[in-house]
Amino acid sequence: MRLHQEIQRQKASDPGMEMKVWFPEGLAVEASFDGFLLRTDQPATIGGGGTAPTPFDLFLASIGTCAGYYALRFCQARGLPTEDVGLKLSAEKDPVLKRVTHVSIEIELPPDFPEKYREAIVRATDQCSVKKHLLQPPEIEVVAVRPSLGPPPLVLSSTNVV
């Protein structure tokens, strides 16, 4: 079974995730999921504490680390050393739209990396599931709710008496 097929098989049995998000102080935002705590903040130049990456920095890092995982597993599956293999992610931003318009990932290979695997590691790295979600994005729904205090009281009136 190929690496991307194994990952898809594992993900297919995963029912999803739930994450709790809260605001500890200033412009910091924290998230808790699967036993992990993740903190974000804004730069001091815009009023944040600069204590952690911004959410958008983590978004870009998720692309890079996902691609890195696929490159790593490609090398491991073939018994190739990984000490001198790395990735460099670059993002170009449109100054008018203030959006990233291009992301480039360079796989940095050591001089002795086998030429026969050069195209294959690019194909494997390109299987990144974060990238796939960007190409076919999920529906994102935002709703406002209040904590439930139990079921609403039953009020008998002439309209609901049977």
Model pLDDT for residues 64-120, shown as the tens digit of each residue: 999 999 999 999 999 999 999 999 999 999 999 999 999 999 999 999 999 999 999
Cβ-proximal residues to 161 (8 Å cutoff; 6+ apart), any chain: none
Q: CA–CA separation, 85 vs 75, rounded Å?
A: 9
**pLDDT given at position 161:** 45
Q: What is the pLDDT of residue 11?
A: 57
Q: Are 72 and 64 in contact, with CB atoms under 8 Å apart?
A: no
Structure letter (DSSP) for residue 156: -
Of the given ranges (44-53, 98-107, 129-138, 149-158), which has the lowest mean pLDDT? 149-158
Q: Which residue has the tokens 């809260």?
A: 22
Q: Which residues contact 121 (CB under 8 A, 6 or more apart)?
A: 71, 74, 75, 107, 109
CATH of domain 56-135: 3.30.300.20
pLDDT at 83: 95
Which sequence spans correspond to the domains of the chain?
A: 16-52, 56-135
pLDDT band at 160 (very low <50, low <70, confident <90, very high): very low
Fill in the amino acid letter for 96: V
Longest dimension (CA), the chain: 84
Q: What was the pLDDT predicted at 148?
A: 74
pLDDT at 6: 64
pTM of the model: 0.79
